[in-house]
Amino acid sequence: MYSKIVILTFPREVAQKALVCQLTRKYDLLFNILSAKISNKKEGYMVLEISSVSRAAFNKGVNFLKEQGVSVSSPEHRIYKDEEICTHCGACTAVCPTEALYIKRPQMEVIFDQEKCSVCELCVVTCPTRAMGLFSAETQDVA
Ligand code: SF4
Ligand code: SF4
Domains of the chain: 2-73 (3.30.70.260), 77-136 (3.30.70.20)
No. of helices (H) and no. of strands (E), the chain = 4, 8
Q: How far is the CA of 78 from the centre of ligand 2 (A)?
A: 9
Question: What's the confidence (pLDDT) of residue 137?
Answer: 59
Please check whether residue 30 is in contact with residue 51, taking contact to mean a CB–CB distance below 8 angstroms: yes
CA distance 115 to 126: 20
Max CA separation in the chain (angstroms) = 47
Q: How big is the chain, counted in residues?
A: 143
pTM equals 0.57
Please report which ligand is nearest the Cα atom of 124: 2
**Residue 29 near residue 58, CB atoms below 8 Å:** yes
From the CA of 74, how far away is ligand 2's center (Å)? 14
Sheet order of strands, 2-10 included: 30-38, 44-52, 2-10, 71-73
Q: What is the pLDDT along the chain (143 residues), one digit of tens a residue?
A: 888 878 888 888 887 778 888 899 999 999 888 777 777 667 888 878 888 998 899 999 999 999 999 988 876 668 899 999 999 999 999 999 889 999 999 999 999 998 788 788 889 999 999 999 887 655 444 55
